């Protein structure tokens, strides 16, 4: 196969140890492995203060873009657990979906949407939420948060208003 005609490798979903998503993504980037941990900003309240924190959109998961023959390199880091499989194959996320996650996280377009208009079970064109060419299914919704199933990876993404 000609190297010029090589198609980009899909992003894979990698399980992490709990609360190690951002740390593992940073370590993999240092190792030269393209990794992405989508985050959202939340306001956490304690008895004496409020603080904005970044929490992962995909708890205990990150996305990695790595060639097939180098996939095991991620396990050189102790926080990597295993790859997510969907229907017997490694779960693959397209570059378009990753870019949509990036733009959604940066633009926070989700907050401007009327959550009360969404209904569980509704098929949702994710373009209105900052995604392109992605469809999801509303799993749960109330005035403060919404859970949407991303069918390509069989996972629920939780969005919260800040």
Give 114's pLDDT tier (boundaries 50, 70, 90): low
Average pLDDT over the chain reads 79
Q: Are 134 and 100 in contact (CB under 8 A)?
A: yes
67 vs 157, more confident: 67
For the chain, give the percent of residues with pLDDT over 70.
72
74-78, 98-102, 120-124 — most confident range: 74-78
pLDDT for res 14: 96
Q: How many angstroms separate the CA atoms of 17 and 159, rounded? A: 22
Tens-digit pLDDT profile for residues 22-79? 999 999 999 999 999 988 777 788 889 888 888 888 889 999 999 989 999 999 999 9
Instruction: List all residues 6 or more positions away from 116 whose beta carbon is below 8 Å from its beta carbon.
Output: 143
Q: Which residue in 47, 48, 39, 50 sits closest to 160, CA to CA?
A: 39
Cα four-point dihedral sign 131, 140, 81, 77? positive
Mean of pLDDT values over 149-162: 66
């Amino acid at each position: 196969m000609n190297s010029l005609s090589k198609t980009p490798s899909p992003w894979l979903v990698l399980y992490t140890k709990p609360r190690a998503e951002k740390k593992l993504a940073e370590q993999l980037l240092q190792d030269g492995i393209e990794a992405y941990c989508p985050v959202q900003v939340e306001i956490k309240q304690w008895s004496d203060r409020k603080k904005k924190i970044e929490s992962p959109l995909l708890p205990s998961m990150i996305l990695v873009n790595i060639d097939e023959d180098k996939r095991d390199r991620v396990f050189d880091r102790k926080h990597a657990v295993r790859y997510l499989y969907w229907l017997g194959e490694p779960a693959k996320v397209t570059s378009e979906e990753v870019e949509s996650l990036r733009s959604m996280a940066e633009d926070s377009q989700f907050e401007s949407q009327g959550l009360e208009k969404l209904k569980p079970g509704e098929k949702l064109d994710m373009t209105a939420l900052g995604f392109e060419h992605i469809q999801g299914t509303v799993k749960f919704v109330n005035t403060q948060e919404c859970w949407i199933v991303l069918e390509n990876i069989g996972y629920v993404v939780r969005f919260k208003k800040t």
